[in-house]
Amino acid sequence: MRAVIQRVAQASVTVDGELISEISNGLLVLLGIEEADGEEDIVWLSKKIVNLRIFNDAEGIMNQSLLQQDGELIVVSQFTLHAATKKGNRPSYLKAAKPDTAIPLYERFIAQIEKDLGKKVGAGVFGADMKVALLNDGPVTIQIDTKNKE
C-alpha cells in the first residue's frame, strides 16, 4: 500500500456535485492498493498514520499525533499512486490492484483506521470521479509505502 498523507485545515470529497465527506483539522489520506497488499499492510499502515507525530504541540513543534489532537480523517482511494512512469509518457498502472482485490482491502483499511482512531472517518467513493478539495496545513505532506516500511 502506498499512502500520501496531508495535514489539512479542511478537506472534502464531492461526487457528481454531492458532498460525500468533509473534515476540518486532520488528515487527508490518498491510498493506493496493489495486488500484493494484505492484512499486514492494512494494520501496519493504519497504526502508523494515526500515530504519526505531525501536529504542532503548544510550543509549535510537530510532536503530536492525530489521536492526541482528536483530529478527523478522510481516506480516498487513488490507484494512480502506483503509476509507473519509467518508460514513455503514458503511465502504466499494472501494479495497482484490480477492483475485485482493491475494494475489499480499501473497506478493510477504513474499518481498521476507524478502530485505531476510535471514531468514524470520511471516505471517498471507490472508482468514482471524485473532486477532492483541501487546504494543506503547513504544508505537511508525508508519503508512506508499506513494502519498504517508510
> CB within 8 A of 65, min separation 6: which ones?
50, 51, 52, 53, 54, 55
Catalytic residue among 14, 80, 85, 146: 80
Dihedral angle sign, alpha carbons of residues 17, 49, 144, 101? negative
101 is catalytic: no
Cell numbers 468514482 label which residue?
128
58: region left, alpha or beta (phi > 0 left; psi from -120 to 50 alpha): alpha
Planar angle of CA 32, 98, 117, nearest 5 degrees:
40
Q: Which residues are catalytic?
A: 80
